[in-house]
Amino acid sequence: MPMDPRHAVLFEPVKIGPHLAPNRFYQTPHATGFGWQRPQSGAALRGTKAEGGWGVVCTEYCSIHPSSDDSPYAFLTLWGDEDIAPLALTAEAIHAHGALAGIELWHGGAHAANRLTRVPSLAPSAQQALYHLPTTARMMDKSDIAAFRGWQRAAALRAKRAGFDIVYVYAGHDYLPFQFLSPLTNRRDDAYGGSLENRVRLLREMIEDTKDAVGDTCAVAVRLAVDELHGPRGITSTGEGREIIEMLAELPDLWDVNVAGALGNDSKSARFSAEGFQEEQVGFVKSLTTKPVVSVGRFTSPETMVDQIKRGVQDFIGAARPSIADPFLPEKIRQGRSDEIRECIGCNICRAANNEGVPLRCTQNPTMGEEWRRGWHPERIAPYPRRETALVVGAGPAGLEAALSLARRGLQVSLVEKSRHLGGRIVNEMRLPGLSTWGRVRDWRATMLAKEPQAQIFLQSEMSADDICDFGADHVVIATGSRWRRDAIGLGNLTPRDLPGALTPDDLFAAALVSGPVVIFDDEQYFMAGAWAEKLAAEGHDVTLVTPWATPSTFTIYTNEQDFVLERLLRLGVKLLPFTLLTGQAGGAAQLECAYTGKASEVPCASLILCSGRIAEDGLFQALSGRVKNLDRIGDCLQPSSIADAVYSAHRYARLLGQDDLPPAREFPPLR
Ligand code: ADP
Ligand code: SF4
C-alpha cells in the first residue's frame, strides 16, 4: 500500500548537529533492564527499533562514573575503555538499518544510591540520597565539580569511539545536573548556586565541554525537564524552565524536553493522562530555539503526530512506550499500513519491569526483550512445518494472541468464544475509569486476525469437553481465563471466609446492584479494587477501601501510578483502612480485624466487594486431560496474572509449537 500523502511530513530528514536523521521518528532513551550486564540483548533490542524505521534510536541511561550506580537496576556504563566494545554492539546494530545512534550519558547525583560500588553519593547540596538507607549525599566542592566535568568529557569521548552519533547531556528526571538547576535541591552560595545563572552554570559547562570533546563528529543533545511539577517553588515551564531554554537556546544541537519530578510524571499511564499530555509544559520550547526539539507523549496516532509537526510543537515524534509496543510503527506508516500499528495501551507494565529490576516486557508486544535471548522478531514468525489444525478455546487476550500467532505460522486455526464478544476480561476492564485504551489489546488482534485467511472465529460458541473431542483438531489450546475468588483469600489473608452476600468484580461487571455503604476488600493489590473504588465513589457511593497493607493498589508503585491512584481516591472521599483484614459480614456491617494486633472492629456495609485474587477457569482443561492429543492451556487459565503475562504465555505457546522448549540463551557479562 502506498503511504498516505498526509503522513509524508513524518518522513522528512532533519538535521541534528553534524548528522542528518533520516526521518522524524525518534526513539528517546528508555530503560531496558539489560544494562551493562547484557550488551547483546540491548543491541538486538535497539537494532530491532532501527529496523522498524525509527530514524534515531537512543540507549538507556549510561553512567559516566562509579559514583553514579543505580544497582540493582540495570544501567549502562562508560566508566573505562573496556565499556566501549560492548556498547559498540548497540551503535552497530542501529547503524545497520540506517538510523542514528544516541547515548544518554547519566549521573544520578543524590538519586544514585551506589549500592554496588559503595562510593559516597554526590549532590549540589547535602541531601538525603534517594531510594536507599538513610544516607546523606555529600555536597560537591569545587574539585568534585571539576572531576565531574572530566567524567562527562571522558565518557563522551568513549561514546564517540563506540560509534554513537548523538551524545546526551542529561538534565532531566531529578538527576545531578537537574539537582543543580532546581532551587529545591541546590542551596549553594558559590558560583554554582543562588541565582538561576549560577544554577545553570554547570549545565552550560557540560554542554560546552561535551561539544568541545566530541562536537566535531557527534551531535550534543540536552535532555531537560522544563517543569518539575512542584509548583512555583521549583522549575516551572512558565518560570525558570522557560528562562533556562532562553539562556541556552542555541548551545546544544537538539533539545529533548519533558516534565520531571519523578519518572512517573514523564511516563504517566493512560489511566491518568491522554496522548500528547506533555504539550502544555513543553509546547513553548520550539518558539525559543532554532535547534530541533523532541518530546514524548505516548504518540501512537499518525494524525496526532502530523499535527504535532504541523503546529510546530516539535520537530521529531519522540517515543519510548509506543516504540516498545510496536518497534515497526514508523515502517507501518511508511507502507500505508497504519491500521496495523500495535498501539501502546499506556498500562506501564514496561515501567513495572524496570522498577522490579527485570528485563523489559510489554503487554502489547510479547517479543519485547526477547530479541536476542529467544531470537523473537516482532514482525516475523517461523512457518509451521506441517499443514495442521488448531482449536483455540476462549477469545480473551491469550486466545486472540494464540490464534493470531498460530495462523501466522500457517496453521488452520479455529477460535471459539462462548460470549458475543472478542476480548475476554478486556471487554469488562476497559469500562473502568481511564482504561479504555486497554481495548487496543483486543482491537489490534481482531484487526490482524481478520487479515489471516486460515483463521476462523466462532462467537457465542461455548465448547464442552465432548464438543472439543468431536472437533478433532490436531492441537487444542484452552484459554478460558479466570474468575475472581469468593473466599477472600489473597496476599495477606490466608483464611477462607464464608461471605455468601459478597460480590466480586465478575458480579459487578455483570451489573450486580450496589447499594448503601460500600466496602471493598483489596488483597490483590493491583488496579482492580482501586478502580472500582474510584468508579463507585464518582457515582456517589460511600466507599471504604480495606486492605491488610499500608496502601491499596500496592503493585501500582511499580507502574508509577500509585501517587495518582491515591490522590484520586482521596479527592473522591474514599476512606482508606490500611493494615486491616476482613473476617466476615453480618448485620449491615463488614467485620474487620487489625492485621497486626488482631483487634476487632466493624464498618457499616450494605455491599461488600472482594478483590482478593483470581483462580484459573481450568475445568475444561482438566476434563480434556488424556482425551485429546496435543492439549495445552495458556493465559489466565494457566496462571491468572496480568494481561501482559497472558499475551506472553500465548505467544510463547505459538512460537514453540513443534519445538523443544529449550532454556533461553543467557548472557554472561564481561569480568570487571
Ligand atoms: P485470558 O486473559 O487468559 O485471555 P480471559 O478471561 O480474558 O483470559 O478470557 C477467557 C475467555 O474464554 C472469555 O472470553 C470466556 O468467555 C471464554 N470462555 C470460557 N470458557 C469457554 C468455553 N467453554 N468455550 C468457549 N469460550 C470460553
Ligand atoms: Fe505501552 Fe503497556 Fe507496552 Fe508499556 S507495557 S509499552 S505502557 S503497552
Per-residue pLDDT of 392-439, as tens digits, reads 999 999 999 999 999 999 999 999 999 999 999 999 999 999 999 999
Q: What is the pLDDT of residue 666?
A: 87
Residue whose entry in the numeric block shows the C-alpha cell 447499594: 515
Overall average pLDDT of the 555-574 stretch: 96
Could you give the 3-state DSSP secondary structure of residue 581? strand
What gap in Å lies between CA 470 and CA 624, rounded to an integer? 12
Please indicate whether residue 322, judged by its CB atom, sits closer than 6 Å to ligand 1. Answer: no
For the chain, the domains span 5-356, 389-481+617-656, 484-614
pLDDT band with cut points at 50, 70 and 90 for residue 262: low
Instruction: List alpha helices for 133-251, DSSP H.
Output: 142-162, 176-181, 196-214, 240-248
CATH of 484-614, one of 3.30.70.20, 3.40.190.10, 3.50.50.60, 3.40.50.2000: 3.50.50.60
Question: Higher confidence at residue 665 or residue 87?
Answer: 87
Could you give the 3-state DSSP secondary structure of residue 535? helix
- Please give the grid coordinates belonging to residue 467: 464438543
Could you give the 3-state DSSP secondary structure of residue 144? helix
For residue range 161-178, list pLDDT tens digits in order: 999 999 999 998 889 999
Domain 389-481+617-656, CATH homologous superfamily name and number: NAD(P)-binding Rossmann-like Domain (3.40.50.720)
Overall average pLDDT of the 489-516 stretch: 95
With a cut of 70, say whether residue 570 has pLDDT above it. yes
CATH of 5-356, one of 3.20.20.70, 3.40.640.10, 3.30.360.10, 1.20.58.340: 3.20.20.70
| Cα-Cα-Cα-Cα dihedral sign, residues 90, 92, 95, 96 | negative
pLDDT band with cut points at 50, 70 and 90 for residue 135: confident
Secondary structure letter of residue 259 according to DSSP = E
pLDDT band with cut points at 50, 70 and 90 for residue 669: low
Residue whose CB lies within 8 A of the most ligand 1 atoms, among 417, 618, 634, 649, for a mutation test: 417
**Length in residues, the chain:** 672
Q: What is the pLDDT of residue 365?
A: 98
| C-alpha distance across the termini of the chain, in Å | 50
For residue range 174-197, list pLDDT tens digits in order: 899 999 999 999 999 999 999 999
Nearest CA to ligand 2 atom 8: 344
For residue range 78-134, list pLDDT tens digits in order: 999 999 999 999 999 999 999 999 999 999 999 998 999 999 999 999 988 876 677
Q: What angle do CA 665, 666, 668 make, to 5 degrees?
A: 145
Q: What is the pLDDT of residue 493?
A: 95
Mean pLDDT, the chain, integer: 95
- Ligand 2 atom closest to 353 (CA): 5
Strand (E) or helix (H) holding 439: helix 439-449
For residue range 38-53, list pLDDT tens digits in order: 999 999 999 999 999 9
Q: What is the pLDDT of residue 670?
A: 59
Q: What is the pLDDT of residue 221?
A: 98
Q: What is the pLDDT of residue 79?
A: 98
pLDDT band with cut points at 50, 70 and 90 for residue 266: confident
| Cα-Cα-Cα-Cα dihedral sign, residues 469, 470, 475, 478 | negative
CA atoms lying within 13 Å on the CB side of residue 15: 4
With a cut of 90, say whether residue 559 has pLDDT above it. yes
Could you give the 3-state DSSP secondary structure of residue 11? helix
Q: Which residue of the set 175, 192, 384, 526 is catalytic?
A: 175
Residue type, 655: R
For residue range 193-221, list pLDDT tens digits in order: 999 999 999 999 999 999 999 999 999 99
72: cis peptide before it, omega within 30°?
yes
Residue whose CB lies within 8 A of the most ligand 2 atoms, among 348, 370, 555, for a mutation test: 348
Please indicate whether residue 424, judged by its CB atom, sits closer than 6 Å to ligand 1. Answer: yes
What gap in Å lies between CA 231 and CA 184, rounded to an integer? 11
What gap in Å lies between CA 289 and CA 282, rounded to an integer? 13
Instruction: Determine whether 175 is an active site residue.
Output: yes
Residue % of the chain over a pLDDT of 70: 99
